[in-house]
Structure 1
Amino acid sequence: MTTKTAHGPASPMTRHRTSGWLAFAGTLAVVIGAFNIIDGLVALFKDSYYLVGQNQILVFDYTTWGWIWLILGVVQIAVGAGILSGRMWARATGVFFAVVAAIGHLAFLVAFPIWSVLTIALCVLLIYALTAPPAGARAN
């Protein structure tokens, strides 16, 4: 009488799906964060750089916009690092902050139109890159 025994580990190995979109999204979040930090620093240190005649964009002055962009940029870089390390919270947070940045750049459109349109397009691409991969996927 012959018996078969199973060879291999007693518990099945969990495999994570990998997604190039998430690697792209993490890198893009870091780039958008860097762009927003640049916007913030320029707004803080050189008010005359932007094209608006008055010292206000919608409701805030340049100093307030500078701090908003600076803080948002730092958060987006941290979220980008989280996305690259495979954290699910970073994907959800990344979508939220990409929407916030796109809306903010829509308001900032009057001050610097080409840069804002570019950043809005990158935010839309980031949202797609974060939502397209299946749940549980990790950056490869």
Structure 2
Amino acid sequence: MAATHSARTQTAKRQWAEGLTVFAAVMLVIAGVLGVCRGIMAIAEDDVFVTTRNYVFEFDLTGWGWIHLILGAVAVIVGFGLFGAALWARVAGVAIAGLVIIANFLSLPYYPVWSVVMIAFSGFIIWALCVVRQDESSDPFERPPDDV
């Protein structure tokens, strides 16, 4: 009886870990694609963004566009790595989501509402990648044995 309860608990934990990893992967790919789009907008057309005078972190919009484009492309690659439940992808996912938060904070005056949305989006990604313990996610796509 205790073994059956333990097996169910392990199965539930594994399913929870699998769900969070897939959630983070999908969110990171979406955030990456949106970052690429934002980067292209900033590089191609500066009229889309608000111009703020005397901003401490003032940077050329084309420069911000390249930053968002590169971060977005890397986020898409890392997001696809998360579908394979690779440890490197989890670590890189947290790092990229952190950099996306910093980039959106620093470019807040240029596109304020979207920057806040992306900061929240990236916060959820970091949460999903950090809440799963390593022993739960060693291979979240492996099916548990049926002998239970």
**Structure 1 spans left out of the alignment, 5+ residues:** 1-16
- Give the superposition deviation at 1:59: 3.7
Q: Residue 90 of structure 1 corresponds to which residue in structure 2?
A: 89
Q: State the distance in 2 between where 1:52 and 1:85 align.
A: 41
Q: Residue 124 of structure 1 corresponds to which residue in structure 2?
A: 123
For the pair 1:77 / 2:76, whether they are aligned, the reply is: yes
Match of 1:60, SS state, is coil
- Give the superposition deviation at 1:139: 5.0
Residue-pair matches, total: 124
RMSD: 1.9
Q: Residue 58 of structure 1 corresponds to which residue in structure 2?
A: 57
- Give the superposition deviation at 1:109: 0.9
Q: Residue 104 of structure 2 corresponds to which residue in structure 1?
A: 105
Q: Residue 37 of structure 2 corresponds to which residue in structure 1?
A: 38
Q: Residue 68 of structure 1 corresponds to which residue in structure 2?
A: 67
Q: Residue 25 of structure 2 corresponds to which residue in structure 1?
A: 26
The amino acid that maps onto 2:133 is P
- In our comparison, the structure showing a higher alpha carbon Rg is 1
Q: Residue 8 of structure 2 corresponds to which residue in structure 1?
A: none
Equivalent pair of 1:84/1:139 in contact (CA under 8 Å): no
Question: % of aligned pairs identical?
Answer: 33
The amino acid that maps onto 1:29 is L
Question: TM-score under structure 2 normalisation?
Answer: 0.77
Q: State the distance in 2 between where 1:57 and 1:37 align.
A: 25
**Structure 2 spans left out of the alignment, 5+ residues:** 1-13, 142-148
Q: State the Cα deviation string for residues 93-138 of structure 1 (Å, max 9, x = none).
A: 0001111100110011101111000000000000000011120514
Q: 1:83 to 1:104 in 2, by over 3 A?
A: same
Question: TM-score under structure 1 normalisation?
Answer: 0.82
**Which of 19-28 and 130-139 deviates more?**
130-139
Match of 1:68, SS state, is helix
**Which of 21-30 and 63-72 deviates more?**
63-72
**Which of 116-125 and 45-54 deviates more?**
45-54
Equivalent pair of 2:52/2:109 in contact (CA under 8 Å): no
Q: If each structure's helix is expressed as a fraction of its own residues, which one has the higher value? A: 2
Q: State the distance in 2 between where 1:139 and 1:78 align.
A: 20
